[in-house]
Amino acid sequence: MRILGIDPGSRTTGFGVIDIVGKDSVYIASGCIRTPPNAALPRRLHIIAEDIFEIVKRYQPQVAAIEQVFVNVNPSSTLMLGQARGAAIAALTLNGLSVFEYSALQVKQAVVGKGKAAKQQVQHMVMQMLKLSEKPQADAADALAVALTHHLRNHLMMKNLGARKVKGGRFV
Amino acid sequence: MRILGIDPGSRTTGFGVIDIVGKDSVYIASGCIRTPPNAALPRRLHIIAEDIFEIVKRYQPQVAAIEQVFVNVNPSSTLMLGQARGAAIAALTLNGLSVFEYSALQVKQAVVGKGKAAKQQVQHMVMQMLKLSEKPQADAADALAVALTHHLRNHLMMKNLGARKVKGGRFV
């Protein structure tokens, strides 16, 4: 199972690819899509969408996970972030990928174990879980964290389901 | 010259296709992309992007024009609208189309002649200019209006350029 995590942003969109091998998560790739801040909006959204096409083509993930974004205090920033996120999600779905959304709270809970964890703790846990010797860029680390979140939450769900008894074809 | 106009929205995205034949604008097609309000966000954005792919394939426009959106008082609505607009623009640029953005003010000025025109006046002028016997749906009419805006503004620019003198390869 290969998961592509995306951390959308108006200037920088992080991506991270991990493989799930048995119980282990294995680092495959990560990086950032950067858009020139002075370019026109359609050009910036095109770069995001096109780069995601390229990443999907290269790494062939089976599923995508993306961070839910905060509504910013600045409405123009919210609009811009929404547009970048919309372009990213459209590019993922156009490639036939199912896209799962996770809030920052869910990511922290899954990766660190508590919803109030600092950003640095999340990055530290990403490095530990994926056995990275170097710290990835912040946006790439966030993308890896959301990919890990998808795995950890599904793994947990499967474990819980496994613990439940089946009677007459139904969980009881 | 065939222009595709898009009026992005979180629930309904209007589209309108016009041809420019000499000085005339000719109606080709228009309609609405509707997304089920209860569907998950990735699914809704996928419908917008995929339908735009389909529209571009069917009508083969040479250029796209899209309305700039207002920053809404409700931040979640702004985010949602931004995401829909981002998906639409990404789909247009992925099809190799140049995308031009026009504000509501620019649309009103171009189509009605004054920036403070009511929405009904814009729709009325769209019907007049494209010789439509029936009133199109509101979002489709807005999409046709933005396509007309692209034509009218370019036409005006060309006329102004044509009136200027060229000396040594430069406009003087």
The mean predicted confidence, pLDDT, of chain A is 90
Q: What is the mean pLDDT of chain B?
A: 90
| pTM for this entry | 0.87
- Report d(CA A172, CA B20) in Å as an integer: 66
CB contacts of B48 in chain A (<8 Å) are 90
Boundaries of domain holding A154: 2-171
Instruction: State how far the Cα of B69 lies from the Cα of B67, in Å rounded to an integer.
Output: 6
* pLDDT reported for residue B154: 84
> From the candidates A71, A74, A79, which should be mutated to test the interface with B, based on the most B CB atoms within 10 A?
A79
Number of domains in chain B: 1
More confident residue, B119 or B60: B60
Confidence of residue B164 (pLDDT cuts 50, 70, 90): very low
With cut-offs at 50, 70 and 90, classify the pLDDT of residue B157.
Answer: low
What's A53's domain CATH number?
A: 3.30.420.10
Q: Which of A43, A80, A89 sits opposite B42 (nearest CB)?
A: A89
Nearest to A41 among B42, B89, B98 (CB): B89
CA distance A144 to A16: 5
List pLDDT tens digits, range B26-81: 999 999 999 998 999 999 999 999 999 999 999 999 999 999 987 777 888 899 99
Query: In the predicted model, is pLDDT for residue A84 greater than 60?
Result: yes
Burial of A161 (0-12, 13-18, 19+ CB in 10 A): exposed
Alpha-carbon B122 to chain mean position: 13
Summarize the confidence of residues A79-105 as an average pLDDT.
Answer: 96
Q: Grade residue A119 by pLDDT with cuts at 50, 70 and 90.
A: confident
Cβ contact, residue pair A99, B42, below 8 Å: yes
- Asked whether residue B98 carries a pLDDT value surpassing 80, the answer given is yes
In order, the DSSP letters of B10-73 are SSEEEEEEEEEETTEEEEEEEEEEE--TTS-HHHHHHHHHHHHHHHHHHH--SEEEEEPPPPPS
Catalytic residue among A50, A51, A54, A67: A67
Residue A90 touches partner B, C-beta closer than 8 Å: yes
> Across residues A99-119, what is the average pLDDT?
92
* Residue B158 banded pLDDT, cuts 50, 70, 90: low
Q: B78 and chain A: CB distance < 8 Å anywhere? A: yes
113-152 of A, contacting B, C-beta below 8 A = none
Q: For residue A172, is pLDDT > 60?
A: no
Rg over CA atoms, chain B? 17
Residue B160 — very low, low, confident or very high, per pLDDT cuts 50/70/90?
A: low
Out of B53, B87, B94, whose CB is closest to A89? B87
CB A87 within 8 A of CB A33: no
Check residue A165 and give its pLDDT.
Answer: 45
- Contacts A90 to B, Cβ<8 Å: 45-46, 48-49, 86-87, 90-91
Range of lowest pLDDT (A28-37, A64-73, B59-68) = A64-73
- In whole angstroms, give the CA distance from residue A145 to residue A126: 6
**In terms of C-beta distances under 8 Å and separation of at least 24 residues, what long-range contacts does A8-11 make, across chains too?**
A8/A48, A8/A66, A8/A67, A8/A69, A8/A81, A8/A84, A8/A85, A8/A88, A9/A81, A9/A84, A9/A139, A10/A35, A10/A44, A10/A77, A10/A80, A10/A81, A10/A83, A10/A84, A11/A35, A11/A37
Confidence of residue A171 (pLDDT cuts 50, 70, 90): very low
Whole-number Å distance between alpha carbons of A134 and A122: 15
At residue A170, what is the residue type? R
